[in-house]
Structure 1
Amino acid sequence: MKQVLKCVIAFIFVLTLIPFSNQAKAASNLLISEYVEGSSYNKAIEIYNPGNTAVDLSSYSLVSFTNGADRTTGTVTELKLSGTIEAKSTYVIANKSASEAVLSKAQMTTGNAVMNFNGDDTLVLFQNYDATTKNGEVQDAVGQIGVDPGTNFGTDVSTLDMTLVRTNDLLTPDTNIEDAYHPEKQFIALPKDTFDQLGRFDGGVVAPPAELAKDQYQVKVLRVVDGDTIKISPAIMGSDTIRFVNIDTAETYHLTSYDESLIKTDLNQNQKYFGELAKKALNEKLTPGMDITVKVNKDHVTDDYGRVLGQVIRTSDNVNVNLNMVKEGFASTYFIWPVMSMEDYNMFQSAVKAAQDAGLGMWNKSNPQLELPFEFRARYDGKGLLRYVGNSDTKVFYDPQNFAQVPVDKRIFFSKEEAIAQGYKLAAGNGEGEITVESAKAMDIDAARKAGKGTNAIVTGTVTHIDGYNIYIQDKTGGIVVRSKTVKPNIGDVIEATGETGEYFGLYQIESEEIKVTGQSNITPEKKTLSSIGESEEAELITINDVTVKSVNEHSEYTVEDKSGHTFMIKAKSGIEVGKTYHAITGVVTFSYDNYKLLPTEIVEKEIVKETPKTVSGIAFLDKNHNGKYDRPDLVLKNVKVSIYKDNQLVEEVVTDEFGVYNALLLNGNYTLKFEVPNGLVETFENNADENVDSDISDGKVDVVINNQDVQNISAGYTKPVGKMKRK
């Protein structure tokens, strides 16, 4: 009995040493299966348990590292979880102010700051989280701690304004929260405010095809941002922001409030006052939940800030709100070339003329708006007036600072090159005086760069990169940017561009809408040994080698260092990670914000070494004297097939020639050569002599290792089945 008791105690002791493997496995396999970053408070996180055992969430926390926070600095907030996730089930956490479509699917709703995340915040699912050390067992994460990406991680699959969902082939958790984050490795993207997948895991969900632009959209108003900007739902082409086209209202961003006593004398106070009036007027015209139609130019739906450019039509009474704001004096007209509809242009310009003549709103002579919005932005933001202004009646255009010489109802804003291309003449007395347009001269790119600003040139080069309006071209003498708003060639096109040379934020360029494709070509990037990137490389396609990424700033500009300690700046949205070394980065040299930098076109992590195949050779012979080696009086055998296998896969077949010789070209690796037995013969002895040429096969095959050298004399000997050589 005592012996039995001892056995029972020993068994229990052993059990205490064995981990509860099923429970541990389930805990270690929890995933963030859906990430909802929607409009307003529509924020939700779905956690999935792919295991076969329910998981108690009491030891789990969802932690937010806000705006680049890490374990030592910045704002880090913990949300302790509770409840249970059943096997193969989900658990949804939502912001308590989210829409009912989200809340109805949530197991936990909260006002905790964790669930007020934006696209630039990092979320980590921890088990056994320690709030003091900000550490624990990482289960999964969205983002990278210590890095503020600006607005979002990722591009096509982005942590901003999207619903991100896992599929069956994207079930690997991200447990390294300090390496570079690429959301496309975890998720597919669904449109903003998509909630139909929330609360259930469907590993086969498919991302929708890219949205095709339409002429108009039916949406609802969410809220008014300012006098010419609103938020809407659902999003249009991925954006929930509408910037009213054809109009411009006073700004509000520069002050939190205005002083009534200063609005007639202080430019900033005056701008704020009229901005608030315009915002109030728009709020009265568009209320939350109102149905509207947004009319867009489907060839140019969004602006450089990602906002939809549109005219807003109230569904209830078909009122054009853009036009209505102009008619009532809350907005000025604002047309930047190219004007998409001259019918709209004339309608809006007639409205602003009538409002101005009647002294309505901003045109009130006793209390006028002291600066037009574009004029205010140029002064307050410090960028100055950049666009020339043309008179649509007289076809005369003026220097930017002389915009007031053109009546508001006749203004179209141009670059100088655009104005000239449309037949406008520069007004007398504007800077350089009345312009005499000289015929453009054909010149190579180096000559165009040296000719200086204001030169009317024709340049020809191969397109190496396109970045927004900037087309980078290159010939044998150098590179230059062709800036065009309407023409979009392809990489490799040879284009001829006619226009005026100038600078845009320090980047030398030719402004041109007169571009034609004359052929196709390839530019081989020059591999340069540089101590720095400068003006001599501007707009050229170059390659820098063997660089290590040292840091990245909030503008996605990476500082890299080569083996000699020289540093360069790389502007990249993705594909580069801090701490990694890259064999080569190829790109075009650009200039912005006082720095030359490389816009990558190709990133190579490791050097690609092309391996030279090695020769395997030998003979097949008839061993007449039965000694296992090729000697007199032996004969060679032709047309013997040799089949070559690698990892049990046939990779090549060869046959012996009239001299009994076979040759095969093979890369490094382990191979098996199988020889076809000639009719009426059997194998002779294997490795029966020290000579180079003897029979190497056993049961018709031989193993060969290729390691950077040719392998010779791998041969096969056969004999007639007589005497002791006879095989059964």
Structure 2
Amino acid sequence: MKKTLLFLGMLSSVAYAQDCSKIFISEYVEGWSNNKALEIYNPTSSPVDLSQYFVARYSNGSSSATNANAVQLSGTIAPHDVFVAVLDKRDPNGTGQEAPIWDSLQVRGDGFFSPVYNTSNAFYWNGNDAVLLAKGTLTSTPTASITTATGFAIIDVFGKIGENPANATGSTANNDGAWSTTFPYSTGQGVLVTMDHSMIRKASVKKGVTANPSFFNPLGEWDTIPAVTYVYDQNGNPISGANGPILFGNWFSLGKHDCDCNPLSVGENKMDEVAVYPNPTTDGIVYVKNTQEVKEITVLNALGQNVNRFANNASPVMSVRLGNDKGVYLIRITQNNGTVLTKRVVLK
């Protein structure tokens, strides 16, 4: 799907967002084959009509995009909720470039877009493509610049427009690179994390990026998890099928976003809110602080399976061990009054 396309026009209009005042991208999925998705979060107290917005893709370092590289969205995001937009490849008989998305991703989709590449290739990104969320209504001319959209304004940018990051060998020749964990993030050094990964916006981020960045540090505002994980048996060994180890789409985090914009429950004091740290963790240990009112803590893996359970022994800080596999875990915190809090953590 790495095609060189003609782009016309220049990106010229920038909008400036206040904290928690506009929608933004809360998760980016660049999975194997056609498994591509964006989760869009609404930090406001009012529903948002997505028909006023569009997504555009800047392919292989292009600095411009046309309507053929964009798609108008549809649907509504409820207050403090998310909308999961997925590449529309749902034909189970599709092969090659028409291969279907995995069932585990399809069930998490709220809307499906760009079914025909030659009509709109907006959702066909690879790890080296920048993605734009913008407000505006696209015109009907395929070759027109997206900046001609009525009411055009930048809402969020993932990646760096005009930059084609290298692969692990430092080459951009095959357009198979991705942004990585080592400065300047585009030379293939470090771990390539925008390819075959999901990127989850940190809870501390309260608004989108409304101007093309000088550098795109993928871990600056994002946590990262692999796109797939192995399915394990009760002894922790990968389960194999006729074609080798069985893989599971690691999209358990889609459909809900933890953000500091989310309202607090009635009677909850932010200063006394239960905190989980460090997140992400590298050794599988996290600490849960302010647990005076916590009865027990349960750890679930990306498959929703119970990994560990810890009863509170009147300690204000609890040490919690995750599982052995890298990826997303949910920490389910049950308080003495029956209230249940859920925190998402990442093991790298």
**TM, length-normalised to structure 2:** 0.49
Larger gyration radius, structure 1 or structure 2: 1
**TM, length-normalised to structure 1:** 0.24
Higher relative contact order (CA 8 A, sep 6+): 2
